[in-house]
């Protein structure tokens, strides 16, 4: 940052791009170091996230034990276990703990004003910080994830082909971007409401249920909405939430294939585009109505 700041102002498009990248890289490194300060607490928190999966595995085993059918909404018992484990991977990419509330807090306490006077893009800074957070998280979580997946390997179907693996990876990257820009936009509502904790909580509730984190969304196929021929699953498909948990898991399990897979990836990318624009508009309009007083 210091080196970048001491350089004379660059001229030319390429030089400006290079400077921008250097600033962004410095922000990423700072955020990585920040994340590693309380690494014990971080490791403990990461490992504990696997505990709810254990109860879900036992719950669905009991449910399958009590039903005569070997399949529920097209999922066998093994599929369900594999699905929950895969949604853990999806959520590792799309969940953004503390992002929206952090933005709202910095608006409320005025600390956001430093980003208004510095030549740093606030959304870019947040993105770098979040990538740093995720990199540390993956570094810590890879080993327990690998252990759990190896332990539960019998629940999974055979490893998908390269095309499916590519689509799965792409869906995860897009789910990260979608999760980031949705939460960042939510946090920007702080310019209008100051306190957004209740809105964030309501969003989390809806997101948790409609993203497929709680159960495979295919289970909603037979739940009627009251409109003839339209199920709850049909309504949920029109929302962006499923791309943050259900979709990557469904891709791996082969529940979405062929043209439907391509169409879903395009829709996911479109949702990312929509949320980037929404986030930028919220920032642009929010900073124009923002006022800060005092030192």
Partner 1 sequence: MTRYVSILLTFARACLVRDMTFRANFVLECVTSLGWMAMNLAFYLLVFTFTPEIGLGTGWTKAPFFAFVATGMIINSIVQALFMPSAEELTEMVRTGGLDGILVQPLDAQFLVSMHRIDFSAFANGLVGVGLLAWAIPRLPQPPHPVAILLYPLLIACGVAILYSLVIMLAAATIHLGRNQSLYDFWFYLTNFSRYPAEIYSGPWGGPLRALCTFVIPILLVVNVPARVIAQPLTGQGGMMVAGTVFAAAAALVISRWVFQSALSKYRSASS
Closest by CA to 268, choosing from 245, 249, 238, 243, is: 243
23-31, 54-62, 111-119, 279-287 -> range binding partner 1 (CB under 8 A)? 54-62
Under the binding rule (CB under 8 A), the answer on residue 193 touching partner 1 is no
Which of 41, 226, 259, 288 forms a contact with partner 1 (CB under 8 A)?
41
The helix/strand/coil state of 12 is coil
Nearer to partner 1, 1 or 204 (CB): 204
Assess contact for 108 and 195: CB atoms under 8 A: yes
**Residue from 52, 157, 224, 273 binding partner 1 (CB under 8 A):** 52
Candidate residues 153, 201, 270, 277; the one interacting with partner 1 per rule CB under 8 A: 201
Asked if 51 touches partner 1 (CB under 8 A), the answer is yes
The answer to whether 51 touches 148, Cβ cutoff 8 Å, is no
Query: Among residues 2, 6, 11, 55, which is the contact residue for partner 1, using CB under 8 A?
Result: 55
CB of 37 to partner 1, least distance (A): 10
> Segment 218-247, which members bind partner 1 (CB under 8 A)?
219-220, 222-223
> How many Å apart are CA 44 and CA 38, to the nearest integer?
10
Q: Is there binding between residue 44 and partner 1 (CB under 8 A)?
A: yes
In this complex, which beta carbon is closest to partner 1, that of residue 109 or of residue 222?
A: 222
Residue 25, interface with partner 1 (CB under 8 A)?
A: no
Ordered DSSP codes for 237-280: TTSSGGGGTHHHHHHHTTSS-HHHHHHHHHHHHHHHHHHHHHHH
User: Which candidate, 131, 21, 106, places its Cα nearest to that of 287?
Assistant: 106
DSSP bridge pairs for 226: none
């Amino acid at each position: 940052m210091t080196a970048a700041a001491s350089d004379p102002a660059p001229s030319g498009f390429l030089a400006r791009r290079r400077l921008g990248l250097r600033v962004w890289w410095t922000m990423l490194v700072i955020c990585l170091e920040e994340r590693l300060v309380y690494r014990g607490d971080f490791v403990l928190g990461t490992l504990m996230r696997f505990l709810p999966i254990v109860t879900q595995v036992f719950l669905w085993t009991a449910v399958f034990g009590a039903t005569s059918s070997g399949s529920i909404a097209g999922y066998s018992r093994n599929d369900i276990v594999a699905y929950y484990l895969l949604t853990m991977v999806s959520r590792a990419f799309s969940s953004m703990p503390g992002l929206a509330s952090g933005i709202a807090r910095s608006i409320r306490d005025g600390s956001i004003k430093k980003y208004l006077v510095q030549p740093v893009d606030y959304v870019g800074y947040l993105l770098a910080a979040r990538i740093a957070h995720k990199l540390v998280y993956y570094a810590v979580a890879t080993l327990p994830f690998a252990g759990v997946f190896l332990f539960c390997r019998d629940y999974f179907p055979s490893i998908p082909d390269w095309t499916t693996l590519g689509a799965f990876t792409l869906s995860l990257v897009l789910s990260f971007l979608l999760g980031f820009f949705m939460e960042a936009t939510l946090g920007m509502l702080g310019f209008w409401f100051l306190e957004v904790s209740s809105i964030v909580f309501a969003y989390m509730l809806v997101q948790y249920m409609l993203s497929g984190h709680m159960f495979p969304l295919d289970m909603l196929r037979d739940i009627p909405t009251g409109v003839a021929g339209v199920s709850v699953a049909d309504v949920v498909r029109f929302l962006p939430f499923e791309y943050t948990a259900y979709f990557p898991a469904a891709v791996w399990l082969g529940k979405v294939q062929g043209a439907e897979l391509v169409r879903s990836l395009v829709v996911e990318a479109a949702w990312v585009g929509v949320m980037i624009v929404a986030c930028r508009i919220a920032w642009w309009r929010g900073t124009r109505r923002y006022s800060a007083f005092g030192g």
